[in-house]
């Protein structure tokens, strides 16, 4: 099993690996708790998320280092996509967890606190007010 997986990973073309980096973050159908990392093109970086254990897609890595190695060429240098995320609506996501986060409110023209449900949502989500302000204000 492990040898086959290693062979498949070694023979995956760079174009296929890049496509993985464009896939959306998917938590999967199950309710397990597997800390994972995924690349978010709109943010230009890898983020931590919780994978449920089944389903999902291949934009899922066991470590930040693995994610960055797979998608690093996409996050080098300034990206206009990083600023575009501030224009996205504030989305709480489709799960029911309670995670305080921050997002840029276009109507108020400032960063505000909101509750993120833990899955789904979009790239207009920051872990601190400082991070939100440094990107969007």
- Tens-digit pLDDT profile for residues 81-135: 446 788 889 999 888 889 999 999 989 999 999 999 988 888 899 889 998 888 8
Q: In sequence order, which residues have a C-beta less than 8 Å from that of residue 3 and are 6 or more positions away?
A: none
Any domain includes 23: yes
Same structural domain for residues 99 and 45? no
Same structural domain for residues 104 and 70? no
Please provide the distance, in angstroms rounded to a whole number, between the alpha carbons at the two ends of the chain: 49
Instruction: List the domain range (segments joined by +) for residue 68.
Output: 14-77
Return the pLDDT at 50.
92
d(CA 6, CA 93): 34
Give the 3-state secondary structure of residue 87.
helix
| Number of compact structural domains in the chain | 2
Any domain includes 104: yes
Any domain includes 39: yes
Cβ–Cβ < 8 Å for 85, 122: yes
CATH number (domain holding residue 114): 4.10.410.10
């Amino acid at each position: 099993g492990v040898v086959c997986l290693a062979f498949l990973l070694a023979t995956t073309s760079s174009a296929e690996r890049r496509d993985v980096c464009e896939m959306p973050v998917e938590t999967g159908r199950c309710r397990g708790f597997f800390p994972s990392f995924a690349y978010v093109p709109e943010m230009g970086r890898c983020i931590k998320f919780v994978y449920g254990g089944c389903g999902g897609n291949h934009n899922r890595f066991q470590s930040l280092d693995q994610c960055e190695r797979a998608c690093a060429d996409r996050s080098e240098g300034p990206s206009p996509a990083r600023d575009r995320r501030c224009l996205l609506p504030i989305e709480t996501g489709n799960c029911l967890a309670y995670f305080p986060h921050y997002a840029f409110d276009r109507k108020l023209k400032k960063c505000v606190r909101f509750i993120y449900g833990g899955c789904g949502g979009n790239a207009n989500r920051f872990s601190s007010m400082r991070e939100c302000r440094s990107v969007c204000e």
